[in-house]
Structure 1
Amino acid sequence: MSFRHPQILDIARRDGRVTVDGLAEALGVTVQTIRRDLSELADAGRLSRVHGGAVLPSGVSNIGYADRRALGAEVKAAIATRAAALIPDRASVFLNIGTTTEAVAHALRGHTGLMVVTNNLNVATTLAETDAEVIVTGGTLRRADGGLVGPMAAAAVDRFKVDVAVIGCSALDAEGDLLDYDPGEVEVARAILRQSRRTVLVADASKLTRKAPVRIASLSQIDTWITDALPDPLAEKCAAWGTEVLHP
Structure 2
Amino acid sequence: MSQSFRQPDILEIAHRDGKVTVEGLASHFGVTLQTIRRDLTELAEAGRLERVHGGAILPSNTTNIRYEERRSLNPAAKAAIARACAARIPNGVSLFLNIGTSTEAVARELLNHRDLMVVTNNMNVANILAGNPDCEIVVTGGHLRRTDGGLIGNLAESTIRQFKFDLAVIGCSALDRDGDILDFDIQEVSVSKAILKSGRKTFLVADHTKFSRSAPARIASLAEVDTFFTDGPLPAGLETACAEWGTEISMAGGARP
Q: TM-score range by the shorter chain?
A: over 0.9
User: Partners in 2 of 1:51 and 1:147 — Cα distance?
Assistant: 37
TM-score of the aligned structures, taking structure 1 as reference length: 0.95
Give the aligned CA root-mean-square deviation in angstroms: 1.4
Question: In the alignment, which of 138, 142, 149 is matched to residue 141 of structure 2?
Answer: 138
Secondary structure of 2:71's aligned partner? helix
- Does residue 151 (structure 1) correspond to residue 164 (structure 2)? The answer is no
**What does residue 55 of structure 1 align with?**
57
User: Partners in 1 of 2:45 and 2:180 — Cα distance?
Assistant: 29
Secondary structure of 2:113's aligned partner? coil
- Does residue 234 (structure 1) correspond to residue 235 (structure 2)? The answer is no
**Superposed, which structure 2 residues align to 1:64-79 within 5 Å?**
64-79=66-81
Q: Unaligned regions of 5+ residues in structure 2, if any?
A: 253-257
- Does residue 171 (structure 1) correspond to residue 177 (structure 2)? The answer is no
Cα deviation code 1:91-120 (max 9, x no counterpart): 111000111111111111121111111111
Question: In the alignment, which of 8, 13, 16 is matched to residue 14 of structure 1?
Answer: 16
Q: Unaligned regions of 5+ residues in structure 1, if any?
A: none
Residue type of the partner of 2:103?
A: T
Question: In the alignment, which of 174, 194, 198 is matched to residue 195 of structure 1?
Answer: 198
Secondary structure of 1:187's aligned partner? helix
**Superposed, which structure 2 residues align to 1:117-136 within 5 Å?**
117-131=119-133, 132-136=135-139
User: Partners in 2 of 1:84 and 1:173 — Cα distance?
Assistant: 25
- Contact kept? 1:16, 1:72, Cα under 8 Å: no
User: Partners in 2 of 1:160 and 1:127 — Cα distance?
Assistant: 19
- Contact kept? 2:122, 2:149, Cα under 8 Å: yes
Residue type of the partner of 1:176?
A: G
Cα deviation code 1:13-36 (max 9, x no counterpart): 333332322322232221211111
Question: In the alignment, which of 105, 109, 112 is matched to residue 111 of structure 2?
Answer: 109
User: Partners in 2 of 1:149 and 1:189 — Cα distance?
Assistant: 10
Cα deviation code 1:183-225 (max 9, x no counterpart): 1111111111000111011112211111111110111111111
**What does residue 27 of structure 1 align with?**
29
Secondary structure of 1:21's aligned partner? helix
User: Partners in 1 of 2:20 and 2:72 — Cα distance?
Assistant: 15
Q: How many residues align?
A: 248
TM-score of the aligned structures, taking structure 2 as reference length: 0.92
Which is further off, 114-123 or 67-76? Answer: 67-76
Residue type of the partner of 2:45?
A: D
Query: 1:2, CA displacement in angstroms?
Result: 2.8
User: Partners in 1 of 2:53 and 2:237 — Cα distance?
Assistant: 18
Would the alpha carbon gap of residues 51 and 67 (structure 1) be closer, same or farther in structure 2, given more than 3 Å must change? farther
- Does residue 5 (structure 1) correspond to residue 3 (structure 2)? The answer is no
Question: In the alignment, which of 90, 96, 100 is matched to residue 94 of structure 1?
Answer: 96
Would the alpha carbon gap of residues 10 and 209 (structure 1) be closer, same or farther in structure 2, given more than 3 Å must change? closer
- Contact kept? 2:58, 2:212, Cα under 8 Å: no
Query: 1:150, CA displacement in angstroms?
Result: 1.2
User: Partners in 2 of 1:41 and 1:175 — Cα distance?
Assistant: 28
Which is further off, 158-167 or 4-13? Answer: 4-13
**What does residue 250 of structure 2 align with?**
246
- Contact kept? 1:38, 1:53, Cα under 8 Å: yes
- Does residue 216 (structure 1) correspond to residue 219 (structure 2)? The answer is yes
- Contact kept? 2:177, 2:235, Cα under 8 Å: no
